[in-house]
Amino acid sequence: MAPKTWTKETYTLNTGAKIPAIGLGTWQSKPNEVREAVKAALQAGYRHIDTAFAYGNENEVGQGIKDSGVPREDIWLTTKLDNPWHKRVEEGINSSLKSLGVDYVDLYLMHWPSSTDPNDLKKHYPDWDFRDTWAEMQKLPESGRVRNIGVSNFAIKNLEKLFADKRFKTVPAANQIELHPNNPSLKLVQFCKDKDIHCTAYSCLGSTDSPLYNNETLKKLADAKGKTVQQVLLMWGLQRGTSVIPKSVTASRIQANFELDGWELTDEEFKHIDSMPERFKVCGDGWLPVKVFFGDDE
Ligand SMILES: NC(=O)c1ccc[n+]([C@@H]2O[C@H](COP(=O)([O-])OP(=O)(O)OC[C@H]3O[C@@H](n4cnc5c(N)ncnc54)[C@H](OP(=O)(O)O)[C@@H]3O)[C@@H](O)[C@H]2O)c1
């Protein structure tokens, strides 16, 4: 079979919606950089943008979308409900839509399974948790302002807790989680697959100052293929069946990260990457008032 044209590929979610396989990440993209980055990505052919209320850049992301000239309906836009907004889902989505300057988002994620008290970010609400938040989020697609709902940073334990809730109706369309060769989360990815929950790989390049860029196994493999380490990392994510959302504010990197058509990793190369022994995780849960990682996400 010929290698895929990944820049045009989509994954079908459990709702039937099609999420473009490659998107642009925007965490830590500063307000004065992200507008240009979003515009550059869309003009390079990206059709999927990932942002969040917590990134503080929804406004500029929206401006970048407008600057690009690409019609809104051709773009997959994901944003996320912030932790201190769990009791205010309506307000949260309305605020995001206003900042983004759009009528709807394609995917609205619960950013973390932590219902943080807005008056004290070190405290979790005593009378509310992510199951209550999900019960509210389930109402959103009816309104047309949110086409699909999903979660992020959900480990198996919390997904099971969610499924067991008596109000639970909608299986999350996606779980956005940290995935790269040093954090492959085999059990969690398989669990999501079994439940028909699509996984999107965040920090798919290993995030800021990624140690993966100097990994000898990856460097050798990339050199031999005439590809960059970043391209190899993205291809590994795509061939695992996950969407990838590499972040960059550098036009040349945004372009290079999208050069993924017409080639692939062989089974042997794929297995070689899978067998890399190093482990590291970018996002922990120490800053949250509640534990959300239990070891199956590593
Ligand atoms: N749901 C969540 O809790 C969560 C958590 C983390 C991330 N995310 C999402 O996932 C996205 C991606 O994750 P991430 O931002 O952690 O990191 P990432 O995409 O793994 O890596 C981004 C870093 O790699 C650099 N980079 C990108 N392409 C490169 C290339 N071709 N060559 C060299 N360096 C390159 C970027 O630098 P420059 O920008 O300077 O070019 C940046 O420092 C986020 O932006 C966000 O949208 C979600």
* pLDDT tens digits, 215-237: 999 999 999 999 999 999 999 99
Q: What is the pLDDT of residue 1?
A: 78
138-189 pLDDT, tens digit each? 999 999 999 999 999 999 999 999 999 999 999 999 999 999 999 999 999 9
pTM above 0.95, yes or no: yes
Q: What residues form the annotated binding site for substrate?
A: 111
- Structure-model confidence comparison of residues 203 and 297, the more confident one: 203
Tell me the CA–centroid distance for residue 135 and ligand 1, in Å: 31
Give the mutation target among 61, 207, 254 for probing the ligand 1 site: most ligand atoms within 8 A of CB: 207
**In this model, does residue 67 exceed pLDDT 90?**
yes
Give the mutation target among 35, 83, 244, 248 for probing the ligand 1 site: most ligand atoms within 8 A of CB: 248
Residues with CB under 6 A from ligand 1: 25-28, 50, 111, 152-153, 176, 202-208, 210, 228, 230, 245-250, 253, 256-257, 282-283
Q: What is the pLDDT of residue 30?
A: 85
Q: What is the pLDDT of residue 298?
A: 81
Tell me the CA–centroid distance for residue 38 and ligand 1, in Å: 13
CA 285 – CA 114 distance, rounded (Å): 10
236-278 pLDDT, tens digit each? 999 999 999 999 999 999 999 999 999 999 999 999 999 999 9
Q: How far is CA 286 from the centre of its chain?
A: 20
Q: What is the pLDDT of residue 2?
A: 87
Q: What is the pLDDT of residue 74?
A: 98
14-53 pLDDT, tens digit each? 999 999 999 999 999 887 899 999 999 999 999 999 999 9
Q: Which residue's CA is the closest to the ligand 1 atom numbered 42?
A: 208
What domains does the chain contain, in order, with CATH numbers?
A: 6-274 (3.20.20.100)
Tell me the CA–centroid distance for residue 3 and ligand 1, in Å: 25
Tokens in use for 104?
């709807």
Atom number of ligand 1 nearest to Cα 109: 1
User: Which residues are CB-neighbours of 142 under 8 A, at least 6 positions away?
Assistant: none
pLDDT tier, 113 (very low <50, low <70, confident <90, very high otherwise): very high
Q: What is the pLDDT of residue 297?
A: 80
Which residues are known catalytic residues?
55
Q: How far is CA 68 from the centre of its chain?
A: 22
Q: What residues form the annotated binding site?
A: 111
Name the residue among 279, 249, 52 with its Cα closest to residue 182: 279
